[in-house]
Structure 1
Amino acid sequence: MTCRLLLVDDHSLIRAGVRALVSDIPGYLVVGEADDGDQLLDLVKRLNPDIVLLDISMRSTSGLDALTYLRANGHTCKVLILSMHTDPELIMRALESGAHGYLLKDTTATELEQALTALRADERYLSPAIAHTVINQALLHAQNGKPLGADRHNLTARQLEILRLIVRGKSTREIANGLGLSIKTVETHRSQIMKRLQIYDVAGLVLFAVREKIISLDD
């Protein structure tokens, strides 16, 4: 089934570039465009997109205000922020306002496809370039948490070790090679971790690991 996309950005050149990139990705179709956040709610109602690619800085209504209004009106379409901003406070506000992913505008076609694939699978996506920034900012916001023990949430010491590697951005193959395990074993641990925590995307695992002090600023 084709995934329907809506582009919202006040620069026509950016919209044209994104549309061109999407046209080369099988299974996705741009069904509409807007140059301001004011138009977002109406277009979502009329076009029923699966994913909205939304800029933050726009004329009149900002992307964050439009996103907040969208969520307040009960719309559940996925939202992927596409922005040039790397300010950690702004990124956290976007995620807390209901964005499912955050992608920088200097991204590659490959990363755009990865982000769209993640959102389509009900996962979240953060550009690798800002993942550490988000971790640091979340750590600064964390309040009086205690270190997570190996028995909490029924995670074994090995699973905690793998969780730390996952949130540091290591691939399954890298984790397997580093720990001397098979890829299948790592995949099994990963599945068990997500099931026990009831968190099924990497961005969610990152925020959990930060909140529970599993990782630190030194990681």
Structure 2
Amino acid sequence: MAKIKVILADDHQMFLDGLASLLSQLEDVEVIATANSGKEVMLKLTGLAPDLVIVDINMPVMDGLETTQKIKEKYPHIKVLGLTMENDLQLVTRMLEAGASGYILKNTGKTELELALRQVMKGEPYLSQTISNQLAQNLLRNFQQKNDLEDPLKSLTERELEILKLIALEHSNTEIADLLFISPKTVETHRKNLMRKIEVKNSLGVYKFAVKHKLLEE
């Protein structure tokens, strides 16, 4: 069975040696070269034919992002797996846009490293579990924010909601201030903020909003 030929690139020699040692434990994987910079990777590619390049994002002379772009431009068949200490989603996105097939963290263990390598070699993308979780959290957060924008009611604070109902019931700022034990000036500030959030211009608009959302039935 043909071995998967790999070039490793990292500017920290001790880490590079450790990574090479881990991969040497896989029978069907062969580390054919190592490099300490992106420039060195490109030089080695002129005489070698790896299946995969595992490249550190932060390297001198030519960083992992630029190296990935150049590899994919010149050798589009070679897979690239990004490697870094940082779980920076912007950096992940830029690496994937540059053509990387996956992205793993340097604290990845042997099991996940092997999983990433094999998945990438099958033509499937791979992101470390930590990054995948972070992406999922961001998607959920963005979805929630989108829902909040679509439903202005969710953007109101408890105090704003309280004042909105009182405005809809035709109470003046002074009356609301007395009922809630706050100053009329504070009421006016809340009034302006809530009207901006629900996008109305006057008390009639507040009343219509309250009726639409059945706030006066509570």
Q: TM-score, normalised by structure 1?
A: 0.61
| CA distances 1:116-160 after superposition (whole Å, capped 9, x unpaired) | 111121111111111022345578999xxxxxxxxxxxxxxxxxx
Judge conservation of contact 1:91–1:134 (CA < 8 Å) in 2: no
Distance 2:141 2:37 in 1: 33
What amino acid is the match of 2:88? Answer: D
Greater CA drift, 27-36 or 74-83: 74-83
| CA distances 1:85-137 after superposition (whole Å, capped 9, x unpaired) | 11110111111111001111001111111111111211111111110223455
Q: How does 1:89-100 map to 2 (within 5 A)?
A: 89-100=90-101
Judge conservation of contact 2:71–2:78 (CA < 8 Å) in 1: no
* Secondary structure at the counterpart of residue 106 of structure 1: coil
Judge conservation of contact 2:3–2:30 (CA < 8 Å) in 1: yes
Identify the residue that residue 148 of structure 2 maps to in structure 1.
none
Q: Percent identity?
A: 34
Distance 1:110 1:100 in 2: 18
* Secondary structure at the counterpart of residue 47 of structure 1: coil
Identify the residue that residue 122 of structure 2 maps to in structure 1.
121
Judge conservation of contact 2:20–2:31 (CA < 8 Å) in 1: yes
Higher normalized contact order (CA 8 Å, seq sep 6+, divided by chain length): 1
Q: Alignment length, in residue pairs?
A: 143
Identify the residue that residue 58 of structure 1 maps to in structure 2.
59
Judge conservation of contact 1:22–1:30 (CA < 8 Å) in 2: yes
Q: How does 1:62-141 map to 2 (within 5 A)?
A: 62-135=63-136
What amino acid is the match of 1:81? Answer: G
Identify the residue that residue 33 of structure 2 maps to in structure 1.
32
What amino acid is the match of 2:70? Answer: Y
> CA shift at 1:73, angstroms?
2.3
Structure label with greater radius of gyration = 2
The yes-or-no answer on 1:22 pairing with 2:40 is no
Q: TM-score, normalised by structure 2?
A: 0.61
Report the CA distance shift for 1:37/1:27 in structure 2 as closer, same or farther (over 3 A). Answer: same
Distance 2:66 2:13 in 1: 21
- Runs of 4 or more above 6 Å deviation: 138-142
Distance 1:79 1:137 in 2: 25
Unaligned regions of 5+ residues in structure 2, if any?
Answer: 144-218
What amino acid is the match of 1:6? Answer: I
What amino acid is the match of 1:21? Answer: L
> CA shift at 1:15, angstroms?
0.7
| CA distances 1:35-79 after superposition (whole Å, capped 9, x unpaired) | 001122222231110010100001111110111122222432000
Report the CA distance shift for 1:88/1:16 in structure 2 as closer, same or farther (over 3 A). Answer: same
Distance 1:11 1:115 in 2: 21
What amino acid is the match of 2:118? Answer: T
What amino acid is the match of 2:90? Answer: E
What amino acid is the match of 1:70? Answer: I
- Structure with the bigger percentage of helix: 2
Judge conservation of contact 1:88–1:137 (CA < 8 Å) in 2: no
